Structure 1
Amino acid sequence: MKTQVTLISIAIAATLNSSAFAATQTNQDIEVITVVGQQQHYKTDQAHAAMRSDVSLLDTPQSVTVIPTEIMDDQMVLTLGDALKNDASVSIGRVTTDRERFSLRGFSLDESTNLLKDGHQHFSKYRLPMALMESIEVLKGPSSLLYGQSTPGGLVNLVTKNPTYDSFLEIGIKGDDNGSLRGMLDAGGSLNEAQTIRYRAIVEKQENKNWREYQDGSAQESDFFVGSLMTDFDISDDLTLSLHYDKSDELAGQDSGALVDEQGNVIGGNETIWDMPWTKIDAQSENYGADISYQLSDDWNIDAGYNKQHNERERWESKPQTGSYDPDTGSYKNKPYNKLEDWQQQSFYFDLVGTLEIGSMQHDLLFGGNYLKHEYSSLKVKGKMDSGNIDTGIIVPQPDLDYADGKSESEHYKYYGVFAQDLITFNDQWQVLLGVRFDKQEKTDADNQSVLPKLGIIYHPTSYASIYANYSESFEPQGRVLDDEDASFGTELDPIKGEMYELGTKWELLSGKVRLNAALFDIKRSNIIVNQGSSDEPITTQGGVQRHKGVELGAIGQINDDLSLITSLMYLDAEYTSHDEFEGNRPEDVPEWTASIWAKYSITERAAFNLGAFYEGARFGDGDNSFEKSAYTRIDTGISYILPVAGNDLQLRLKVENLFDTDYLGGGENGEVNVGKPRTLKFGVSYKI
């Protein structure tokens, strides 16, 4: 592991040295220009993943939110959840040491299918390195036409930073009052005078300390490293080859969350971790691949790419059985285990994009396909049940477990799809989007295939506004019933289907500096698996229905020369309308109301003030709706200043999260919850040359 990290560091250092040499050779006669510090604003006009082409958001019949790097910098974002809190349609579920769970419009996002990287399927059961990200795109509603199997709430696309033409070097450090420190280096530029070879290299090292503590008084800590190298080669005026590589490495103690009583009070105190202090996760992730872009003509372009992803993880778990907690004695069971896991994914895609004029109509055409091969293997060895005590802090000793006694499991499947999409422009006012996809999964006892349509209609009352309606579908492949005690044993289950009707509008105001958007939606997820028998005599069938109806409002942009903001609000009526266990219930951790606002006021060209509020309404803490987590509002604030040093910019940032130290409960799962972080002071310093 250390050898791999060293190799990455050497590769990046070599690239940086080459860049410095190239700059020395080619820039001797170039005039030096001093850049005056200036505040950046928030609005973005495109989301490439929404249409898999560079189509304006006004011409996109779908609700989309783009969170750009300027917002993530101002908020000093560390995790994907930190960024997604800017969109009220996203709720953060359970957060554990190495990953986060999310729901979008109330539907859980699958970590294997609903999170994309640069518009392509990405396996995401690990800490996603935000240091590599340029922006976050949130696509609302089913997007299976372009991306295949996924749940119907929508998709989140992580857009990575790209190589640059101009040379730069940025060094930064961030930290907080818990003792966490994060060092970062980001460099880019051209490696030759013609600027046909470009690169971007990023390294970040984190040493994070949690505010929560184990029962022996030690803090939960994690060490995280990520290194990335991206290169572009202009082989000709029409052909570009891009190569990318990144490697991350994490070693972290476990924190599974807290337990609450029937009144919603945290048992054992907000700061107490139920896991044993010897628990940890040791995880590595590696991605590499290549993309080509070829301009066939003035109107047609083809893109294609390949990516290989390899994730390894070893877990030492005490697995606290919070359901066994005895409030009279404070005791609870622990069920320790060790587990080795290995995931490998290979993916390929192609997109053919072009424009045709037929009569008075313009056709923006997209033909594409994608292929994915997924392989998983694990080895798990269990320890003996032992008892801890949350009141007295009894520490269960770490068992000596041998993987030779473990149980192995494996899974593999292949998945592919092809699609066609046509955005037809009839005139300045009317556009229609038509699309269809064929999808197939090859998996033992789980072969599935689907044909999915999409229809969108757009009306432009003016050149700076659009009103749209769309119908789209999603699907989630299932398999056969494998329980031989089930009366339906061997039955092949149909895919779980989702369908959405959406009506929305987008308006560009203040000379295009501000975009307002609103949407009404109705999403139905059907064919949910249900049990029509009993626990002793199960009969697995399909027929469950989950229906979510709601409204979203949002705005982003520059109100005037000094004030920028991003704000959103969602009302959601969510219910299991048909289900053997949860019929009539609201899904877990899905609030009725959510809202957020984040604003930046530029005091001068170099100084800015930030203020934000994030509201989450009351939510049920489990699927049975047996207890409720109270609504809360969290206030964040910050300041930044650009200090000129040696002709370049030194960026200083200070942020206070949860300014008023509000007590609240975050996401959870199976009755366990994440305790909201108390008031935290963060700082950041970066220097760019």
Structure 2
Amino acid sequence: MSSFGSFSLSRLSLALAASLLSLTVVAQESEQPTTETADDSVAIERIKVDGSQVQLNDVYPGGQVARGGRAGILGNLDMMSSPFSALNFTEELIRDQQAVSVGDVMKNDPVVRVAKGFGNFQEVYILRGFPVYSDDMTYNGLYGILPRQYVAAELLQRVEVFRGANTFLNGAAPGGSGLGGSVNVVPKRAGEQPLTRLTTGVEGNGHVYGAVDIGRRFGDKNESTGVRVNVVERDGETAIEDQDRDLSVVSLGVDYDSEKLRLSADLGYQDHQIDAPRPSVTPTAEIPEPPEADVNFAQSWTFSTERQLFGAVRAEYDLTPAMTSWVAAGFRNGKEDNVLANPTATADGNFSAYRFDNVREDNVRSYELGLRSEFVTGAINHQLVLSGSWFSSDSENAYAFSSFAGFAGNLYQPQTAPQPAADFFVGGDLAAPLVTESADNQSFAIADILSFNQDKVLVTLGARQQTIDTQSYDYNTGAPLSGYDDSRLTPMAGIVVKPSEQWSLYANYIEGLQPGAIAPANSGGTAIENAGEVFEPFRSKQYEAGVKYDGGRFGGTLSAYSTKKPSSLIVDNRFTVSGEQTNQGIEFSAFGMLTDHVRLLGGAVFTDAEQSRTQNGIYDGNDAIGVPDLQVNVNAEWDVQALPGLTLDARAIYTGEQYADAANQYTVDSSQRWDIGGRYSFLVGVTEIDVLLRVENLFDENYWASVGGFPGSNYLVLSEPRNVKLSVSVDF
């Protein structure tokens, strides 16, 4: 167990209590808030809980984050009125950093680390030590609609990162993740001004990029319709040797805004292929030294392909001035085809691997409806929310392995082996896969936000009745194998106290509920003997308290939490649910403008992830796999006054050491990464031109960036190499 492991929840509570007390004293001694004047001094206004299901919160000064984001059925809440912690990244930040995927955006959040799925190239986001799979992100509040493995950044208006358990707010994530948080993606919307932007760029070893972004809004302030179209193409070799990526994206977003009706509708298509994608590495025992970051130990005959068609519509209508109804619906049809070979390596870098083919086809439907009503009882204002949701999916899968005896290789001197036949261990027909997984989940939720003393005290009470119906089927015959169909009630209670307009204290109790895990066909290159077995749902319990500060131009959050959940492990090549994991920690985040020309975004996270109730108690008290004690992110931007239009930025990311086994015998070293960038905006006549240059992993550090990602696994993901990005955008 690490040195931080002795840092108990009681100490976290004492530290947080001391922070809350000191911050409250400062707030009580602070001057009265100012009002906005012609010299741009800060105006601080009391924020009313809104809860719109369509309209977004304003951007916070500095442009990198928003004032708040979606809190599930509670709608879009201002950060100072929410009993939860979140960080909501904006389109401006995404574009300024030349982000390629959601994972690139998440690298700005100290609470998040980006990993990969088990045996594939799905992005996995580790929040508070627990995974959020990319197919468990919500698209404008709906589960299962986004492309399953990778989401292009060009689709995004906002990336909203909610920290903590959230089943009451969003329902149970159908993919079986999300106990430590959730990620909501908001598609692009047309702004008030016409937009015609052409962008071209290059990065890596000749990976080229082109994009068209067009937005128009028609009407006036009382009634308007917006249209936003994006077309993206990426192709060529990335910064990793011989790894080629081909990405095509088309999206259309339409929104309508009137006095009573607000609506958004989105349709997208993404075609994503990686040739010779560098795989993760499963250590046999001792951790091998990380190879050079640009080395590719993938087999040249491996690839990963996915094609996804998806769409969603969301609308809300004011039935009366005090009552609003909403409805949302979405779909996704996706196909994946992979030929993989993930190595299992010894300490000297020698590895064994075998071929693993799989195909997958998904058909997903997701629906939500709700009603929000405001009324008063005595001196208490109420905002009552009722909501129902339904999620349905069918997944067709097939797989084939070559001989598990495998072929040999070396991480430091990679060579391509002859492609073996994938006919040793087969499940289903790769040309005509059968349905092997299905889900049919429904839920009903009720919440009441009670407001006291002119919104200075907000109490939120609620519960969700969640029904989870999952079924697995035989790959070869389609016959039912294992399933689960039951209901659970997940309650929630939260409170917000505002001692002044600059300070907000909050606390919550909330539970997480996951559909029972389905044992995978393989994990980290190891075939799983009980593939297809469905386990009972996981339930987690979370306690959290914190303080938020909003100085008008600069803000932040300090919080402490504790979350418990059942654990899953791979034992003797079998996927098992055994024991319990308790994650507790302290989180600090800050954002906004330090001065008129300097912006700051970042924070630090201290985490203690401890195992308990393990089989025969042999791992009790040990740290969980792949959860660092310390994570730090700092991103700073400076507008150079001597040359108007020029902005320089730098980002530092530190990740503490992590254990790679449940016995805590093997450790992955801590790592640090530096990114720098600059952008220059200027006019040629009336045409605005932006030139952006960015260098990621400036010092070309080689390190294992993550351990695991899928519960119970300990595969390693190598750091990305130094990558130079150059792009030019022209706004007509």
> What per-residue deviation string (whole Å, max 9, x for no partner) do you get for residues 604-643 of structure 1?
3412111221111111234443321211221211111111
CA distance in 2, matches of 1:656, 1:633: 15
Structure 2 length as normaliser, TM-score? 0.79
AA partner of residue 388 (structure 1) = A
Match of 1:416 in 2: 442
Match of 1:687 in 2: 730
Q: CA 1:539–1:456 in 2, change beyond 3 Å: closer, same or farther?
A: closer
Q: CA 1:262–1:136 in 2, change beyond 3 Å: closer, same or farther?
A: same
**CA shift at 1:231, angstroms?**
1.6
Match of 1:588 in 2: 625
CA distance in 1, matches of 2:206, 2:102: 21
**CA shift at 1:265, angstroms?**
3.9
CA distance in 2, matches of 1:297, 1:220: 57
CA distance in 1, matches of 2:697, 2:134: 28
For residue 591 of structure 2, the aligned residue among 556, 559, 572 is: 556
> What per-residue deviation string (whole Å, max 9, x for no partner) do you get for residues 15-65 of structure 1?
xxxxxxxxxxxxxxxxxxxxxxxx953342121236632332111011111
- The answer on whether the counterparts of 1:367 and 1:419 sit within 8 Å (CA) in structure 2 is yes
Unaligned runs of 5+ in 1: 1-38, 214-218, 483-487
Q: CA 1:52–1:162 in 2, change beyond 3 Å: closer, same or farther?
A: farther
Q: CA 1:662–1:267 in 2, change beyond 3 Å: closer, same or farther?
A: closer
User: 2:595 aligns to what SS in structure 1?
Assistant: coil
User: 2:239 aligns to what SS in structure 1?
Assistant: strand
Match of 2:653 in 1: 614
AA partner of residue 657 (structure 1) = E
Instruction: Please tell me whether residue 245 in structure 1 is matched to residue 267 in structure 2.
Output: yes
**CA shift at 1:530, angstroms?**
7.9
- The answer on whether the counterparts of 1:91 and 1:590 sit within 8 Å (CA) in structure 2 is no
Instruction: Please tell me whether residue 546 in structure 1 is matched to residue 607 in structure 2.
Output: no
User: 1:590 aligns to what SS in structure 2?
Assistant: coil
Q: What RMSD over aligned residues (CA atoms) do the two structures have, in Å?
A: 3.2
> What per-residue deviation string (whole Å, max 9, x for no partner) do you get for residues 559-614 of structure 1?
22111111111101111122227433222221001111111111134121112211
Alignment of 1:653-664 (within 5 A): 653-664=692-703
**CA shift at 1:409, angstroms?**
5.4
- The answer on whether the counterparts of 1:51 and 1:60 sit within 8 Å (CA) in structure 2 is no
**CA shift at 1:545, angstroms?**
1.6
Q: CA 1:69–1:163 in 2, change beyond 3 Å: closer, same or farther?
A: closer
For residue 554 of structure 2, the aligned residue among 514, 517, 542 is: 514
> What per-residue deviation string (whole Å, max 9, x for no partner) do you get for residues 297-318 of structure 1?
222222211111011011122x
Match of 2:202 in 1: 175
Match of 2:634 in 1: 597
- The answer on whether the counterparts of 1:86 and 1:568 sit within 8 Å (CA) in structure 2 is no
Match of 1:469 in 2: 507
Q: CA 1:686–1:40 in 2, change beyond 3 Å: closer, same or farther?
A: farther
Q: CA 1:633–1:109 in 2, change beyond 3 Å: closer, same or farther?
A: same
CA distance in 1, matches of 2:646, 2:372: 43
**CA shift at 1:106, angstroms?**
0.7
- The answer on whether the counterparts of 1:46 and 1:55 sit within 8 Å (CA) in structure 2 is yes
Instruction: Please tell me whether residue 82 in structure 1 is matched to residue 104 in structure 2.
Output: yes
For residue 365 of structure 1, the aligned residue among 356, 360, 384 is: 384
Alignment of 1:568-579 (within 5 A): 568-579=603-614
Match of 2:537 in 1: 495
AA partner of residue 605 (structure 2) = M
* Residues 584-593 or 97-106, more deviating: 97-106
AA partner of residue 395 (structure 1) = T
- The answer on whether the counterparts of 1:50 and 1:139 sit within 8 Å (CA) in structure 2 is no
Q: CA 1:634–1:367 in 2, change beyond 3 Å: closer, same or farther?
A: same
- The answer on whether the counterparts of 1:93 and 1:589 sit within 8 Å (CA) in structure 2 is no
Match of 2:227 in 1: 199
For residue 447 of structure 1, the aligned residue among 485, 505, 518 is: 485
**CA shift at 1:652, angstroms?**
1.0
For residue 69 of structure 2, the aligned residue among 47, 63, 67 is: 47
* Residues 369-378 or 623-632, more deviating: 623-632
Match of 1:625 in 2: 664
**CA shift at 1:270, angstroms?**
4.3
CA distance in 2, matches of 1:371, 1:464: 39
CA distance in 2, matches of 1:616, 1:465: 30
Match of 2:463 in 1: 436
Instruction: Please tell me whether residue 354 in structure 1 is matched to residue 373 in structure 2.
Output: yes
- The answer on whether the counterparts of 2:297 and 2:414 sit within 8 Å (CA) in structure 1 is no
Alignment of 1:301-316 (within 5 A): 301-316=324-339
CA distance in 1, matches of 2:413, 2:700: 28
CA distance in 2, matches of 1:339, 1:396: 20
Alignment of 1:227-246 (within 5 A): 227-233=250-256, 237-246=259-268
**CA shift at 1:436, angstroms?**
0.9
> What per-residue deviation string (whole Å, max 9, x for no partner) do you get for residues 68-109 of structure 1?
222222222112222112111112223777421121111122
CA distance in 2, matches of 1:168, 1:493: 50
- The answer on whether the counterparts of 1:40 and 1:70 sit within 8 Å (CA) in structure 2 is no
Identical columns (%): 22
Match of 1:460 in 2: 498
Structure 1 length as normaliser, TM-score? 0.84
Alignment of 1:90-239 (within 5 A): 90-94=112-116, 98-113=121-136, 115-122=137-144, 125-150=148-173, 151-190=178-217, 196-213=224-241, 219-233=242-256, 237-239=259-261
AA partner of residue 235 (structure 2) = E
Match of 1:28 in 2: none
Q: CA 1:80–1:624 in 2, change beyond 3 Å: closer, same or farther?
A: farther
Match of 1:504 in 2: 546
Q: CA 1:513–1:396 in 2, change beyond 3 Å: closer, same or farther?
A: same
- The answer on whether the counterparts of 1:92 and 1:102 sit within 8 Å (CA) in structure 2 is yes
CA distance in 2, matches of 1:649, 1:197: 25
* Residues 459-468 or 374-383, more deviating: 374-383
* Residues 141-150 or 156-165, more deviating: 156-165
Q: CA 1:575–1:207 in 2, change beyond 3 Å: closer, same or farther?
A: same
CA distance in 2, matches of 1:410, 1:345: 14
- The answer on whether the counterparts of 1:164 and 1:188 sit within 8 Å (CA) in structure 2 is yes
> What per-residue deviation string (whole Å, max 9, x for no partner) do you get for residues 348-388 of structure 1?
11132232122221112221121110100112233345423
For residue 416 of structure 2, the aligned residue among 377, 395, 399 is: 395
- The answer on whether the counterparts of 2:505 and 2:548 sit within 8 Å (CA) in structure 1 is yes
> What per-residue deviation string (whole Å, max 9, x for no partner) do you get for residues 518-562 of structure 1?
001111114x4689xx969x997x772211111111111112211
- The answer on whether the counterparts of 1:464 and 1:507 sit within 8 Å (CA) in structure 2 is yes
CA distance in 2, matches of 1:655, 1:392: 30
**CA shift at 1:659, angstroms?**
2.3
- Equivalent residue pairs, number: 628
* Residues 124-133 or 654-663, more deviating: 654-663
Q: CA 1:498–1:599 in 2, change beyond 3 Å: closer, same or farther?
A: same
Unaligned runs of 5+ in 2: 1-60, 472-482, 521-529
* Residues 432-441 or 260-269, more deviating: 260-269
AA partner of residue 510 (structure 2) = S
- The answer on whether the counterparts of 1:473 and 1:499 sit within 8 Å (CA) in structure 2 is yes
